Amino acid sequence: MSKKLEDCVTTIPDFPKPGIMFRDITTIISDPEGFKMAVDQLCDMVKGMDIDIVVGSESRGFIFGAPVAYALGKGFVMARKKGKLPRETISETYDLEYGSATLEMHKDSIRPGMKVFLVDDLVATGGTTAAIIKMVEKLGGKVVKIGFVMELAGFDAKNKALKGYDVESLISYPGN
């Protein structure tokens, strides 16, 4: 039987805090078949769609977003953690499953009217993605597709933080 992407994920209970089921992507990306499956399947999500640019968040979003952009023949924009981008930025602060954080994007990275494919490894609350959506929209871009490798369905981000957007995940885990 051929390998499935799910088989490449390792789950670590109680990391980094008690009660968190940590879905570890390191075993996807260290496996050539797993990494290729993930990138190819993310690209398939926008087959036939008109997109201008791929956006990914630091740091695990970079790992999938950059090869997806390359494979699609598009550019890649980084949403970075605070204080890392050298030019004029826009920023958003948001809550995480465990803590809070601020992401920044270069103000000139999205031009008005650009159609954005937002890529990340995982969605839990959707707070990270919602922060990026806010920045993209403030810059005049339109998020036309959001693709995740994994979703923690218990948070119901699709119907809460990301309601109204076109969201797809390659793997869905019930619960948090």
Ligand X SMILES: Nc1ncnc2[nH]cnc12
Q: What does the radius of gyration of the chain's CA atoms come to, in whole angstroms?
A: 15
Would you count residue 153 as binding ligand X (CB under 6 A)? no
The binding track of 100-139 with respect to ligand X, each residue x by CB under 6 A or -, is ----------------------x-x---------------
CB of 127 to ligand X, least distance (A): 9
Task: Collect all residues with Cβ–Cβ distance below 8 Å to 9 and sequence separation of at least 6.
Answer: 23, 24, 25, 27, 28, 150, 171
Would you count residue 165 as binding ligand X (CB under 6 A)? no
According to CB under 6 A, which one of 20, 101, 144, 153 is a site residue for ligand X?
A: 20
Strands 75-81 and 53-57: parallel
DSSP letter at 8?
G
CB of 72 to ligand X, least distance (A): 25
165 binds, among ligand X, ligand PRP, none (CB under 5 to 8 A by kind): none
Distance CA 22, CA 45 (A): 25
Q: Which is nearer to ligand PRP, 60 or 142 (CB)?
A: 60
β-bridge partners, 102: 93
CB of 72 to ligand PRP, least distance (A): 20
SS3 85: coil
Which residues bind to ligand PRP, rule: CB under 6 A? 57-61, 96-97, 101, 120-128
> Which of 130, 117, 128 shows the shortest CA–CA distance to 162?
130
Distance CA 155, CA 58 (A): 21
74 binds, among ligand PRP, ligand X, none (CB under 5 to 8 A by kind): none
List interacting residues with ligand X (CB under 6 A): 20-23, 97, 122, 124, 152
